[in-house]
Each structure stands twice: as C-alpha cells, then as structure tokens.
Amino acid sequence: MQMGGCHFDPVTQEIIEGKLIAIVDEMGIVMARTSMSPVIYEVLDFACGLLTAEGELVAQMNGITLFTGTFGRQVKSLIARFAGDLSDGDVLLTNDPYAGGTHACDFAIVKPIFVQGQILAYAINVAHYIDVGGSVPGSLAPNATSVFQEGLRLPGVKIVRNDVLADDILHVILENVRMPDVAMGDLTAQIATVRVAARRVGEMAQKYGFSNVSASFEHLLNVSERMSRAAIAALPDGTYHATDTIDGDGVSEAPISVQVAVTIAGDAITADFTGCPPSVAGPINCARGALESAVRTILKALVGPQTPSNEGWFRPLTVVAPAGTVFTAEKPAPTGWYYEGSVHASELVWKALAPLVPERFSAGSYSSLCVVYIAGEDQSGTPFIHIEPQHGGWGASRDRDGANALIALTDGDTYNYSVEVMEARFPLLVKRYGFNTEGGAGAGRRRGGYGIVREYQILSGKTSAYCSFGRTKTMPWGMQGGQNGSANGLQIEALDGTTHHHGRSAHIPLSEGDVVRIITGGGGGWGDPFEREPSMVADDIKNGFVSEDIACALYGFQGRNAQ
C-alpha cells in the first residue's frame, strides 16, 4: 500500500513498531544500570520515550504514569525555543513545570535525532533528581509558597553542544545541588539513554528509509486514534460529574473542593475542570501539563489499558480548565508536590466514569504517594537524603476485591526499596513491613484493598524528616453502597513511647532510636457489604485481614454460614 508517498506494507509497520518499543525499553535498562541515585535505579522514578519531529509521542517505556502526557508538551516547548538552532550533537535540558513539566526535581533530557540532515525524531528521558537545591534537602518543602523555594529551574538549555558537555551549564547545576556527585551520575546516565536511542533510530532509518519510518509514525498514531474513538463511541453519550476534596495544601489545613464534568459526545470526550479553585499557597498545585497527563492516564485506562501508549490515543480528548487554578498553576505558584494535586484530577475523572465501566474501573484508592523525606548525616558524617513512594490499597471494582499494597495511580511502574538496599544505603533499620489491617479497607460486596505499615528506626541522631500525605481526612470513596476506605498517615514514635501524628509537615526533628511509621489507607468497597459471600469473608478471616467480631459487624458474618 501507499503511505506518505512511499511504498509501505503491514509487515514493515509491525517490525518498526516493535523496534520502537525495544528502543525505549533499552533506554530504560541503560538508565537503571548507570544512574547513581537509588530513587532512579531502585524505585525506577523515571521514564523514556520517542517522539516525532513535531513532538508527538510514538513510544514510551513502562515507567512513571504521569509522564504520559508531559513528554509532548516538554518537547514542543523546546522545539519552539530552539527553532532553527539545533544540530546533530545537541542535547537539551528542561525542568520547568510551566513549560509542560511537573516539578523542578524532574529533569527532562531531550535529543533531536538527525537522519540525512533532517530531524526524524526526538528521544526524551525524564528522571527525578534527589536534590536540585532549594530551601530543604530534597528540594520539596511541603510548606513552600513560591517556586523559587523549590530549587534550580532551567527552562530549556543546551546541556550538550556538538557532543560536548556544556561546562557553564554543568557548573551552574553542580553548584546548586546538595549532592553533586549523584546529580552528575544521573545526568550522564540520562544523556547516555538518549544517545542510545539516537543510534538505534538511525539504524532503523538506514534499513527502512527515512520516509518509511516517518510514515510509520503517522500510521501508528492514526490507528491508535481510530481505536480510541471506537472505544469512546461505544459508551453512552452524556455528561458525568464528580467532586472530591484535597486535604490541605501544606500551608493551610483548609479542605480544597475540586470538581469535573466529563462529557462523552460520539467518539470524543471532554474533561472540564471549570469551577475548581485558584492555585493555593502550598505546593500541591500542578501546572497544565501535569493536569493533561493526569486526565490522559484515565483515558488510556478506559480505551486501551494493555496497549503501548502514544499520542494517537489522546487525540479524541479535550481538557478544559481556566488558567491559574490548583490544576493549572502559573509562575510563581509552587508545584513541588504536584502529584498530590494531580492525582485528584485523575481520580475525579475516574470517579465520574466508574459507573460506565464497573468491570474495569474501581472505587476510590489511597491516592497519595505518601512520600516521606528523611535527611541528615549517617554515622560517619556523610550526608544522605532518602525518598520513597509507598504502596497502598486500591478500591474494589464490581467483580473483584481491590488490590492490596499497589503503587498509587500517578507513579505507575515504580517500586519501593527492598529492605536490604535501604539498610545498606541509609542509616535506617526496617522494623516492620506488612498490611494495614488495623485501619482496614472499605467493606462491600467486593472489599477495598489493604494498605501497608512500614516502620523505619532512625540510626543517626543528625536526622530530620518532612512529608505530604493526602487522604488523611477525606477517605477513598465507595461505590454502589460500598463503604469508604481508610486514611493515610505518618506517625513518629519516640523512645519514651510518645507518638506524634503528621499529614503535611514541613519539619520533623528525629532522634536516634525514633521510629518513623508510615501508614497507607485501604481502598473503598463496591456494593452492599451484606451481599459478600460468606466464603470470601471466611478467607479474609483466615488471612488475618479481619477478626470474626469485625466480620460480623461489617458483613453480618456467622461462622456456620461459610460452611
């Protein structure tokens, strides 16, 4: 067949699509094996992608879910900035949340890929840096009121020129971060990944031809668009509403009410966030790029959850939101904890659409990443910064119980630290890691999943912590008569036995021997709890999730009924 003025066949298309996935996966392997920061090589807090010459995503490795929609905006902002001023040996850097990004800690490294003197594609790697300066170690002060408190921001620079590192830019970076050796290692690892991508794309173009590869990009996007529109068209037209509450912003504990109206009309879908409040004082704001990405995450779950992601899937989507809201913050509003705000945008759309696809979508989840920063000096006096997202309980769907101890919606294919790595790298002793059965999960015909309890004992006296937990007061929502889930929270247990509770706290002094206890909530239930099969309740009792007394109260369970 003919595509883009050149001969093209389905077999070649399939091969090229497979190579695109292989390239981004190879980028990910290189990044995990060569980076310096445990949050990258252990947690996998990064993602890699390939985009067309126009900045449209064609392939992305499994990684941070919320980067799905930011790649295109970031690359397009760089295309506009460097129009006509790019050469084969250039590599670009941006970490500007107001230019399509997320927060200053996420460094985007982008390489234009030249073939026959023309740009065929762009390779991108976005990774979370452990520190980029700012007012606190780790850069993400939970009570920041300005982006200028959140570290170094580079809104589009050439970090490599003519295949040579730009010493002036590198000097600025290394002089503004607390752990320059780690930053340098992560930066060079990122640059290696985009160079690998350029080499592989060049090989592919040499074998199949520039025009064929370029045409294959457009064919892939068009096919994905058609599949997306078909899935949307199969849903009933209408406007579906949802509301939610964000539990404070880090500066104030006042609840923040947010809302969405999702309209399905034929084969198109619109998410309208009109009516959401202005950007708040604290750093749970997100910029427009993160908002669009948050909505795209849910659309992808709706129309094609198992297929590789690309821009075509999102062409039927329109996101409406006035400028300057909590979901569309503008400079100088802080965005350090953007994922704590943007996850509510995802959950709003999820909540609005859940009744339409009850076999796939679920009740509310623990949502918050429940991140705690622990920083200070270890026993030898060496500085350290520990950051880790936590797993929690997801909501039940119509046909199955919620997932236990699964990473939050925004983070996708990431992990928490193994006990061995954590104890080897940081002055911490893991005392406990198990299910949060005390807090429970939302009861229902299908119950919510259980969160976790993770305890660290502090082994160094020169240590402090900070955190920003959502869903500490507003529980994960239940569906169709299912009960709400349970709360997230942080507890600090001192040696004298006193316990202090935290949600969004900017400074928590720690002493040697203190125990940091992270508790993540359980998801919401689906359906009337009294309709849960006695055999399933009996299994929960056997597995230690509930006691017989609680099972009797929640489900009307009597042991003999399970026989």
Higher-pLDDT residue of 270, 360: 270
CA distance linking residue 185 with residue 225, whole number of Å:
39
Question: pLDDT category, 245, cuts 50, 70, 90?
Answer: very high
Over range 473-497, report the average pLDDT.
96
Mean pLDDT of the chain: 94
CA distance linking residue 242 with residue 260, whole number of Å:
6
**110-135 burial by CB neighbour count: b if 16+ within 10 A, else e?**
bbbbbbeeeebbbbbbbbbbbbbbbb
Give the residue among 433, 456, 445 at the shortest CA–CA distance from 402.
Answer: 445
Per-residue pLDDT tens digits for 68-115: 789 999 999 999 999 999 999 999 999 999 999 999 999 999 999 999
> Which letter does DSSP use for residue 337 in this model?
T
pLDDT, residue 136, reads: 96
Report percent pLDDT > 90 for the chain: 91
pLDDT, residue 7, reads: 62
Over range 290-297, report the average pLDDT.
95
Q: Give the DSSP H/E element, type plus range, for residue 540.
A: helix 534-542
Give the residue among 403, 405, 487 at the shortest CA–CA distance from 448.
Answer: 403
pLDDT, residue 490, reads: 97
pLDDT, residue 347, reads: 96
Question: pLDDT category, 563, cuts 50, 70, 90?
Answer: very low
Question: pLDDT category, 8, cuts 50, 70, 90?
Answer: low
Dihedral angle computed from the Cα positions of residues 473, 272, 74 and 307, in that order, rounded to the nearest 10 degrees: 90
pLDDT at 309 over 60: yes
Q: Is 259 helix (H, G, I), strand (E, B) or coil?
A: strand
Q: Could you please report the per-residue DSSP string of 45-71?
A: -EEEEEEETTS-EEEE-S--GGGTTHH
Per-residue pLDDT tens digits for 172-221: 999 999 999 999 999 999 999 999 999 999 999 999 999 999 999 999 99
pLDDT, residue 409, reads: 87
Q: Is 258 helix (H, G, I), strand (E, B) or coil?
A: strand
Over range 35-42, report the average pLDDT.
94
pLDDT, residue 470, reads: 96
Task: Map tokens 């668009």 to a residue.
Answer: 225
pLDDT at 458 over 50: yes
pLDDT at 4 over 50: no
pLDDT, residue 6, reads: 55
pLDDT at 63 over 50: yes
Task: Map tokens 């497979």 to a residue.
Answer: 18
Over range 458-487, report the average pLDDT.
96
pLDDT, residue 157, reads: 97
Residues 429-436: contacts with CB under 8 Å, at least 24 apart: 429/456, 429/457, 429/459, 430/454, 430/455, 430/456, 430/457, 431/455, 431/456, 431/457, 431/515, 432/517, 435/404, 435/405, 435/544, 435/545, 436/393, 436/486, 436/519, 436/520, 436/521, 436/522
Q: Where are the alpha helices (DSSP H) in 162-265?
A: 167-174, 180-208, 210-233
CA distance linking residue 397 with residue 442, whole number of Å:
12
Angle between helices 548-555 and 534-542 (to 10 degrees): 150
Question: pLDDT category, 62, cuts 50, 70, 90?
Answer: confident
Question: pLDDT category, 359, cuts 50, 70, 90?
Answer: confident
pLDDT, residue 68, reads: 72
Over range 300-314, report the average pLDDT.
93
> Which letter does DSSP use for residue 541 in this model?
H
Over range 223-233, report the average pLDDT.
97
Give the residue among 352, 387, 305 at the shortest CA–CA distance from 136.
Answer: 387
Paired with 108 in beta bridges are 94, 126
pLDDT at 448 over 90: yes
CA distance linking residue 370 with residue 390, whole number of Å:
6
Domains of the chain: which residue ranges? Answer: 10-225, 362-532
Task: Map tokens 């740009």 to a residue.
Answer: 119
pLDDT at 560 over 80: no
pLDDT, residue 241, reads: 98
Per-residue pLDDT tens digits for 416-447: 888 999 999 999 999 999 999 998 899 999 99
pLDDT, residue 558, reads: 82
Question: pLDDT category, 415, cuts 50, 70, 90?
Answer: confident
**322-352 burial by CB neighbour count: b if 16+ within 10 A, else e?**
eeebbbbbbeebbbbbbbbbbbbbbbbbbbb
